[in-house]
């Protein structure tokens, strides 16, 4: 009992304002990730459906002639990139749903899990931003 | 006493050590992402300016003053998108960085309102991205409508 009374002294609590802000975070991230999933899904379907037309499209842009195997590799690379983006979106979606569930059920363990997914999302974001930065630096020279 | 404790926990969520550790991790990495993003935005502006000056010089040396004017026109064409991109990039950096710094400071000082303020900045950050998403969806939708209209 004495232990229970001491617990609030050491544990911080998220006030109503913080909970409202977190709810807002989950709403927006949910909207963004669901939209992202739809866009990625449509892009994958479009890429696979238009695989044969890609060679003509590339040829029409210049003197580059791409063989069917090269087009196949290009499509595979695009699908892999889209899959990585899907994983990135999934991490944000998982963070969003877990944090929302934690707020509704007042569950600290789930909240910790949600923040863990959010951390992983930001780790992947940093990696993507760094890769983009490297490509920008390359284009400078 | 026990009843009071239960009713209190109905309205607040406890931030135990595990939650704090993961929130601090998220805030730290968000700060890193914000910093790399800002450097990327500034470098993109630099690349744009360098690219434009190279194009202008190329036109100038190959075709003279008349084509220099056309190089200038293309520079002004890209300028609005560059300025919008820069403003968005700086705003995203500001809110994500503020989330990172405020939340970590709140967690270190055991100050709940500061942590809430930090999370408020994260909410603003995602709101901005959400609004950009909506604008992009509308633009793409209008583009598709125009394309369908021009084909018909």
DSSP string covering chain B: -HHHHHHHHHH-EEE-HHHHHHHHHHHHHHHHHHHHHHHHHHHHHHHHHHHHHHHHHHHHHHH-HHHHHHHHHHHHHHHHHHHHHHHHHHHHHHHHHHHHHHHHHHHHHT-HHHHHHHHHHHHHHHHHHHHHHHHHHHHHHHHHHHHHHHH-
Q: Single out the residue of A125, A90, A31 nearest to residue B36, CA to CA.
A: A125
Quick: pLDDT tens for B72-120: 445 566 788 889 989 999 999 999 999 999 999 999 999 999 999 999 9
β-strands B13-15, A12-14: how paired?
Answer: antiparallel
CB atoms within 10 A of CB A43: 15
pLDDT higher than threshold 50 for residue B71: no
H helices, E strands: number in chain B: 4, 1
Contact B26 A118 (CB under 8 A): yes
User: Which among A125, A133, A139 has CB closest to B39?
Assistant: A133
Task: For residue B148, give how far its alpha carbon lies from the nearest alpha carbon of chain A (Å).
Answer: 17
Per-residue pLDDT of chain A (141 residues), as tens digits, is 444 444 445 678 888 999 999 999 999 999 999 999 998 888 888 877 877 776 676 666 655 556 667 777 877 888 888 889 999 999 999 999 999 999 999 999 999 999 999 999 999 999 999 999 999 888 877
Contact A119 B5 (CB under 8 A): no
- For an interface test with A, give the residue of B2, B5, B8, B12 to mutate (most A CBs within 10 A): B12
Task: For residue A69, give how far its alpha carbon lies from the nearest alpha carbon of chain B (Å).
Answer: 31
Minimal-distance CA residue of chain A relative to B125: A25
Q: Positive or negative, the Cα torsion across B6, B8, B13, B16?
A: negative
This model of the complex carries an ipTM of 0.81
Q: Which residues pair with A14 in a beta bridge?
A: B13
Q: What angle do CA A117, A120, A126 make, to 5 degrees?
A: 145
């Amino acid at each position: 009992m004495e232990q229970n009374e001491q617990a609030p002294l050491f544990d911080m609590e998220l006030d109503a304002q913080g909970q409202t802000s977190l709810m807002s975070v989950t709403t927006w991230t949910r909207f963004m990730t669901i939209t992202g999933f739809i866009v990625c899904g449509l892009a994958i379907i479009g890429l696979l459906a238009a695989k044969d037309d890609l060679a003509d499209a590339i040829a029409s842009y210049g003197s580059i002639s791409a063989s069917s195997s090269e087009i196949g590799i290009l499509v595979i690379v695009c699908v892999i990139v889209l899959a990585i983006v899907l994983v990135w979106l999934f991490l944000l979606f998982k963070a969003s749903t877990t944090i929302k569930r934690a707020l509704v059920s007042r569950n600290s363990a789930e909240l910790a899990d949600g923040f863990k997914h959010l951390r992983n999302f930001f780790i992947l974001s940093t990696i993507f931003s760094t890769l983009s930065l490297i490509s920008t630096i390359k284009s400078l020279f | 006493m026990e009843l009071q404790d239960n009713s209190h926990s109905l309205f607040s969520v406890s931030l135990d050590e595990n939650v704090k550790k993961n929130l601090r991790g998220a805030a730290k990495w968000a700060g890193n992402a914000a910093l790399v993003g800002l450097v990327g935005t500034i470098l993109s502006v630099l690349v744009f300016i360098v690219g434009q000056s190279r194009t202008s010089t190329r036109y100038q040396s190959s075709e003279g003053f008349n084509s220099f004017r056309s190089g200038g026109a293309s520079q002004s064409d890209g300028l609005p998108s560059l300025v919008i991109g820069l403003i968005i990039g700086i705003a995203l950096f500001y809110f994500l960085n503020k989330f990172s710094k405020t939340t970590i400071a709140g967690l270190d000082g055991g100050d709940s309102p500061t942590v809430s303020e930090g999370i408020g900045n994260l909410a603003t950050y995602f709101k901005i991205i959400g609004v950009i998403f909506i604008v992009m969806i509308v633009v793409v939708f209008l583009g598709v409508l125009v394309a369908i209209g021009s084909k018909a």
